Amino acid sequence: MKPTWNRREFLQRTSAATLAALAAGSPLANVLTSCKAGTNSTADTVILLWMAGGMAHTETFDPKLYTPYKTGMEGNRVLSTFKSMPTVLDGIHFSEGLQSIGKVMDKGTLIRSYTAADMGHILHSRHQYHWHTCYEPPQTVAAPHLGSWIAKELGPKNPVIPAFIDIGQRFTLGEGEELKAFHTAGFLGNEFGPFFIPDPSQGLESVRPPVGMDAKRFERRNELYNELINNSPVGEFGSDYQRESLKRSMEQAYALLNSPESKAFDLSTEPKESYDTYNTGKFGLGCLLARRLTEQGARFISVTTEYEPFKGWDTHENGNTRLADMKKQIDGPIAQLIKDLDKQGLLDRTMVVLASEFSRDMMVEGSPDLKVQEQVPQPDILSDMKFYGMHRHFTDAGSMLMFGGGIKKGFVYGKTADERPCKTIENPIKIDQVHQTIYHALGIPEDTQYDVEKRPFYTTPDGKGKAVLDLLS
């Protein structure tokens, strides 16, 4: 006799991933089958370098007039707290501390006009949900992550390597439950969800049994897992599609465990000189792991600086000193990743995207035309160094970088004002355009959709997202 479940037991015993799988039933394909995807493509793989927490554009890839700190200075005078430094592109400067990335910009495109959505009160996890799924929360169904759409439509390049790999994000931190909401395949099914590697230095631990567990015991665990599925809420209430999706996700992990490709997860085998170049911390090693997994045929890889409230790019105070440290973490590894991919002939078919949920400003919260409730105090006169740096949330501009996979080389798109508010004034680009540009490069049609709850659900809202062809060569 099958077990009966009350609501409390259901929530207690079902993981977030299982809830996502049950949320919408099995999707029904309308106009698209996977065999149509990938045609006329310029990219096979995507690496997303996620600057979690709100990367200030005027302090990174779109510097304005530099004003050094001086006690008693007017806060409104400060546009950038770092000097601007020349890049390999004539007339294009980056903020001090990003010189290595500046030297590889002849291989990619700089976007200076990303504009985040106005969603009222600003919350990082809401804007991150929007960026990664292209849908504003809340939704009546679980929207798939960008990487899950790609995994579903293109499938794995290498059947042993998970098609969607997420590196660097833990969920035991602030807003952890909110972050989980978009780190899923939603209604597409668990097999298209992310393979998590919270710490790249321990990547090998993700693909082998726990210490003390032999192969026979692990096989028995796999058998028990299948039994658990059959006797779980999915087994009782779910569709055949949902049950099979859960089983396939475990089968994929089991195949990886026993494959030669699993060695790619072991960074200890990387030559010392290369390892040291990438080793600026978790993010740097994540870039190294992303390169090694790309070599083995990964389809979509996300590497994050990790979102943790009031840390990293989430500069609510001490913005200048905090960003100096963040640049040390990202500058060398990102530049080396681009150079390594290019040297190995992989960059032509690998699209690398660097992005953040929104930008920052010292004085403006939200956008000039739609200011929201201020969350961070900012005195008109600076009497303490901790107020020197961009710490309010700014949605009317932002910088992105794109390399490889058909992206133009040595190209700059969009422009922002040189005076506060340093908002977008030319060629604004929004998230549905970003997603559709990526899909276009991969050969995924813009009318990709599935029937969910008796209505079409597209890769971009209502299927209206259009690729920015000016970004593609």
The residue ranking higher by pLDDT, 263 or 304, is 304
What local confidence, expressed as pLDDT, does residue 64 receive? 98
The residue ranking higher by pLDDT, 370 or 73, is 73
Q: Which two tokens stand for residue 225?
A: 């897992």
The residue ranking higher by pLDDT, 205 or 430, is 430
Least confident range of 51-65, 129-143, 229-243: 229-243
Least confident range of 93-102, 188-197, 287-296: 188-197
pLDDT at 32 over 60: no
pLDDT at 29 over 50: yes
User: What's the average model confidence in pLDDT over 18-35?
Assistant: 47
Report the distance separating Cα 121 and Cα 366, nearest Å.
Answer: 9
Report the distance separating Cα 357 and Cα 187, nearest Å.
Answer: 24
What local confidence, expressed as pLDDT, does residue 13 receive? 36
What local confidence, expressed as pLDDT, does residue 23 receive? 46
Predicted confidence band of residue 16 (pLDDT cuts 50, 70, 90) = very low
Predicted confidence band of residue 18 (pLDDT cuts 50, 70, 90) = very low
User: What's the average model confidence in pLDDT over 77-88?
Assistant: 97
Instruction: Specify whether the CB–CB gap between 68 and 389 falls below 8 A.
Output: no
What local confidence, expressed as pLDDT, does residue 17 receive? 39
Is residue 465 classed exposed, middle or buried when 0-12, 13-18 and 19+ CB atoms within 10 A define those classes? buried
What local confidence, expressed as pLDDT, does residue 458 receive? 97
pLDDT at 472 over 70: yes
Q: Which two tokens stand for residue 95?
A: 């903020």
What local confidence, expressed as pLDDT, does residue 299 receive? 97
Predicted confidence band of residue 250 (pLDDT cuts 50, 70, 90) = low
Predicted confidence band of residue 319 (pLDDT cuts 50, 70, 90) = very high
CB contact set of 283 (below 8 Å; sequence gap of 6+): 168, 303, 304, 305, 306, 329, 330, 333
pLDDT at 226 over 70: no
pLDDT at 10 over 90: no
pLDDT at 37 over 80: no
Q: Give the total residue count for the chain.
A: 473
Predicted confidence band of residue 314 (pLDDT cuts 50, 70, 90) = very high
What local confidence, expressed as pLDDT, does residue 34 receive? 42
The matching CATH number, chosen from 3.90.1150.10, 3.40.50.880, 3.40.720.10, 3.40.50.740, for 25-204+264-471 is: 3.40.720.10
pLDDT at 225 over 50: yes
Instruction: Specify whether the CB–CB gap between 408 and 120 falls below 8 A.
Output: no
> Between the ranges 168-177, 262-271, 361-370, where is the mean pLDDT highest?
262-271
pLDDT at 89 over 70: yes
What local confidence, expressed as pLDDT, does residue 206 receive? 72
User: What's the average model confidence in pLDDT over 367-388?
Assistant: 86
User: What is this structure's pTM?
Assistant: 0.87
What does the buried/exposed string (b/e) look like for 356-394 if buried means 16 or more CB atoms within 10 Å of the residue's CB?
A: bbbbbbbbbbbbeeeebeeeeebeeebeeeebbbbbbbb
User: What's the average model confidence in pLDDT over 363-388?
Assistant: 86
What local confidence, expressed as pLDDT, does residue 33 receive? 38
The residue ranking higher by pLDDT, 305 or 174, is 305
User: What's the average model confidence in pLDDT over 32-59?
Assistant: 83
What local confidence, expressed as pLDDT, does residue 53 receive? 96
The residue ranking higher by pLDDT, 164 or 11, is 164
pLDDT at 149 over 50: yes
